[in-house]
Structure 1
Amino acid sequence: MNVTPNRRSFLIAGGLTALASTRAFGANEKIRIGVIGAGGRMHALLSSAEASGVPFEIVSVSDVYAPNREQVKTRPSATAATTHMDFREVLDDKSIDAVLIATPDHWHVRIACAALAAGKDVYLEKPVTHTLEEGAALLKGVRSSKQILQCGMQQRSWSHFRNAVALIQGGALGRVTQVRTYWWQNYDTNWVPKPIDESQLDWKQWLGGAPDQPFNLETYSRWRWFWNFGGGAMTDLFAHWIDVAQWAMKADEPSMAFMLGDNYVMKQWQCPDTIQAAFRYPGFDVVYEGMMSSSIDDGGLEFRGTQATLKITRSGMTVWHEGVKSAQNPVMKEDSFEDGTTTHMRNFFECVKTRKEPNAPVEAGVAAARAGHIGNLAYHKGGHTAWPANA
């Protein structure tokens, strides 16, 4: 997020083989963490890490906005942490076991590959890629190393999502031919940008390889909705749900995508604020709808099967059986008892110690991001695309 690309960074992104972490951990020994990208999402991750119960300490913090760096240092686990604008100074610290990356999307693959090459395990926020082309580079970076990479798709560690997937794959719903996904948020009331002190921000470094442009608070604060830095709802929100759908249905990419979108309300954005999309998979379809100026119903999924329908949100799941009187429905219900990001961070830390495969491996992250990119490709091509694009 904070270094203009140079020959060294491109070599790293090209997949230099890393030396795996070989440190043996004692039962209560702290994992030494580096933080890269210290904004709001990182603070949520660190709160979940603290709630995980796994001992860790923050050794080093990198961000291009000085107040973000200093805010991390107020945490008990980071009082002795060093602060840096250049993320490579974090990676140069050989005492660090793992890094957490929560930068804007356009930095994800570059920093993750550099961290892997430096011998660090990685927790990488979703979407793990910013473009379709980056998927191959990230896969190579992970699988040519011996490092752990956990993708930030916390549903993979959330107990009721795991139980739902087991039900679907076990045939409890019958044949599932449609998965409905949706997400509504209200950026007018819930995501209003706060002014920042521009004198403490290195805007050029934040831009990285993106085209040069003047500082804009809307772009800096809501970067997900500008193509140079994010991919809108398809990669921010839909990426979570399509990952669950692909996981449950054992399919990793669509063959066709349709997408209608427009900026009906948020005229200052590049990415559409209102979306209707549909994706064709072998034997089933996935649909998505959402808008960014209405938050009623929030987000969730519905798996429609011939014998039952499973509805799931981050609060819990219900199963509704075909042919059962409504008074007896739902036939199954499970509420969430722990935030999935907490269990996801716990899983990552355990994998750092045991070297086991994490719950959200790189292949799942690349596939989820790819589906969102294909949706955006359809949008840019007038509403429809086949996949692969030349098919």
Structure 2
Amino acid sequence: MESEDGRRYVEVRVPPRFLSDYAVTAAKNLKKRKEIDMDINRRHFIFAGAAAATLAGRATNKMGLRPLKPGEKRAVALIGAGMQGRFLLTEFLKQRNVRVVCVCDCDKTRREDGAVRVDAFYKDGSRCAAEADFCKVLENPLIDAVCIATPDHWHAYISVEAMKHGKDVYCEKPLTFTIDEAKKVIAAQKKYGRVFQTGSMQRSWRVFRTAVSLVRGGAIGDVRYVDANYGRSGQKLGGPSHPVRFFNVPENAAKESEGFGQLGEWGWNRWLGPAQWRPYSNQLAPVGVHKFFPMFWRFDDDIATGYNGDWGAHHLDIAQWGLDMDDSGPYRIIRSDEPYSLDRYHGGRRQFGMRMLFKSKRGGRDVELYHGPFGVWGTVFYGTNGIVAVNRGKIAVWQGFDATAEKPTEEIRRALQDVSYRKDRIVAESVGEDYGTDAAVKADEVLDSVLKQLETRFAAEIKRAGLYYSENQIRNFCECVESRKPTISPASVGGRSGALCILCNMSYRYDTGFDWDPVRMEIKGGNPKGLSLKRADCRGWEIVV
């Protein structure tokens, strides 16, 4: 990946046997910082524990909405002002019943930039706060809700503490980094009675709602196979996360430490939080306001789950929705039988081909979900009476034949890409431009016409499905803050779709399959590889519900 100034953000794995030599090299290049870093590492646990204890000591039980003064709106704070955070900030500014009053980020440039954007939008002379410490945001009784757009490893802790402090929460997907965190966020929403929304925004898109309505309403019969496609085939950013790295290129460690001064020792340790300590790298945590998604942390084993928790959090979520599994999940994870990757970035991990088995709620045969690479379609449902394929700005429906008579093959999947498969059975299709990473819904007359056609033809099936209706994920959250009704993606839903991402990544990372209890969210039948469902060491940021 490249930034606007042309710098390439390439991830390089440092084999464990080289780590000691690397540490010596890094220490020489960063002699001045070594003393600081060593001191930080010793003191961080004490500091983090004190900050966590302070928050825990001020936690609340269930509480209602704060009374507002005449003309006052609900106060929202943004925590995490990176690329996605700025998108969410723009969306929250559009909402009529809330007002953004604070932007929080450990990077001074980012939080101040966010505050300026807020002031420029409202233009009423008030000043948006620019805060470094999210703990202070959570302690503020005048803030009603928070929007969390930090890297994944912070989602759960901040979400739980926010709810304990009487705040409603909008949290980016994937909801959590570990299964243990998912269970705790779900438990916290239940215990503290807060309104919670996961940023699985495709649930508020008409094209996905229509596709899932057709599937849930029975338009294609009983679903037996599902494809969830994400990750770049044959490239360094495949499906799973990569082994933990410190610097991109060890010999350039001094150069990659540039930007540390902008965060400082406190800021860098606050960025890391529960993740294991390592020297600062501007590849991992680029400072300042930029216009690219820093995929380095997205693919770091100790911070995120690769494309499984990125695009997988979207397409696996649609699969879960279509299978009516918001209260359940798979019962078995099957290891990929694809070749091991020879790419030096991947640590020998397979990149695609993991499968999950679900018990069909309609009875009969199990449902098999397959993870494949990016393509035209994000999620594909194969039923006993047809196929529904969907992605951002795209939908295609086939009907009138048993698409489960044979297991989907690569040949069938290729034919689906250009909609050349079973043309005699196509009901309607619209394959527009690739949205890329754009999260905004675009005007598309062809797609609109196709959706109207499907909504008319399958009106009975759509009514039978009876899906939750939301046109905008953030607007839905803000409306529910006032109504106190459940959102379209509460913690119970976001936690389980996030669990799919985590289970998928675990299968690749440890090259294994296992049986799963979808109700208890636990491994069944023994754990021969000692797979962990929680962090071994959270460096003082223990999540307590």
TM-score normalised to structure 2 length: 0.63
For each residue in 1:47-73, what CA deviation from the matched residue of structure 2 results, as whole angstroms up to 9, or x when unmatched?
3334x5535322111111111112212
Q: 2:315 aligns with which of 226, 241, 264?
A: 241
Query: Could you tell me which amino acid in structure 2 is paired with residue 215 of structure 1?
Result: Y
Q: Does 1:21 align with 2:65?
A: yes
Measure, in 1, the Cα distance between the counterparts of 2:297 and 2:425.
Answer: 43
1:362 and 2:510 are equivalent in the alignment: no
- Looking at secondary structure, tell me which structure has more strand per residue: 1
Q: Which residue of 2 aligns with 1:274?
A: 351
Q: Deviations over 1:99-144 (max 9, x none)?
A: 1001111111110111111111110111111111112211121111
Matched letter for residue 499 of structure 2? R
In structure 2, do the counterparts of structure 1 residues 334 and 48 end up closer, same or farther at CA, with 3 Å as the change threshold?
A: farther
Counterpart for residue 384 of structure 1: 513
Deviation, 1:346, is 0.9
SS in structure 1 at match of 2:380: strand
Partner residue in 2 for 1:214: 279
CA-to-aligned-CA distance 1:327-363 (integer Å, 9 cap, x gap): 5553134789962997111111111121111000111
Is contact 2:172–2:199 with CA below 8 Å preserved after alignment?
yes
Q: 1:338 to 1:233 in 2, by over 3 A?
A: closer
Q: Tell me the equivalent position of 1:348.
A: 477
Letter in 1 for 2:334: F
Change (3 A) 1:323 1:137: closer
Q: Relative to structure 1, is the Cα distance of residues 13 and 143 closer, same or farther in structure 2, using a 3 angstrom cutoff?
A: farther
Shifted more, 323-332 versus 139-148: the winner is 323-332
Show the counterpart of 1:309.
387
Secondary structure of 1:61's counterpart equals strand
- The range that moved more, 175-184 or 321-330, is 321-330
Q: 1:91 Cα deviation (Å)?
A: 1.6
The CA distance in 2 between the partners of 1:271 and 1:89, in whole Å, is 43
For residues 178-199 of structure 1, what are the alpha-carbon distances to aligned partners after superposition, in whole Å with 9 as ceiling and x for unaligned? Answer: 001102459889xxx9x87321
Give distance in 2, aligned partners of 1:25 and 1:77.
22
The residue number in structure 1 matching 2:202 is 155
Alpha-carbon distance between aligned partners in 1 of 2:62 and 2:97, rounded to the nearest angstrom: 25
Query: Of 104, 115, 119, which aligns to 1:73?
Result: 115
Is the alpha carbon distance of 1:253 and 1:323 closer, same or farther for their aligned partners in structure 2, counting shifts above 3 Å? closer
1:300 is matched with which residue? 378
Q: Which residue of 1 aligns with 2:303?
A: 229
1:387, 1:179 → 2: CA distance? 19
Displacement of 1:390: 3.2
1:48 counterpart residue number: 91
Instruction: Give the Cα–Cα distance (whole angstroms) in 2 for the partners of residues 258 and 61 of structure 1.
Output: 43
**Preserved contact between residue 181 and residue 302 of structure 1 (Cα < 8 Å):** yes
CA contact (8 A) 1:172 1:307 kept: yes
Query: Are the counterparts in 1 of residues 92 and 100 from structure 2 also a CA contact under 8 Å?
Result: no
User: Percent of aligned pairs with the same residue?
Assistant: 27
Aligned mates of 1:142, 1:96 — CA distance in 2: 18
The counterpart of 2:398, out of the listed 320, 324, 349, is 320
Partners of 2:230 and 2:308 within 8 A in 1 = no
Q: 1:334 to 1:38 in 2, by over 3 A?
A: same
Relative distance call for 1:134 and 1:105 in structure 2 (3 A) is same
The size of the alignment, in residue pairs, is 379
Q: Calculate the aligned-residue CA RMSD, in Å.
A: 3.4
- The answer to whether 1:285 aligns with 2:347 is no
Give the whole-Å Cα distance in 2 for the aligned partners of 1:10 and 1:269: 38
Deviation at 1:24, TM superposition (A): 5.9
Which residue, out of 330, 336, 349, partners 1:254?
330
Distance 1:216 1:271, change over 3 A: farther
Structure 2 gap segments, 5+ residues each: 1-43, 238-247, 249-255, 286-293, 360-365, 403-420, 433-438, 443-469, 518-522, 526-545
Match of 1:131 among 165, 170, 178: 178
Q: CA deviation at 1:97?
A: 1.7
Runs of 4+ in 1 over 6 A off after TM superposition: 186-189, 334-338
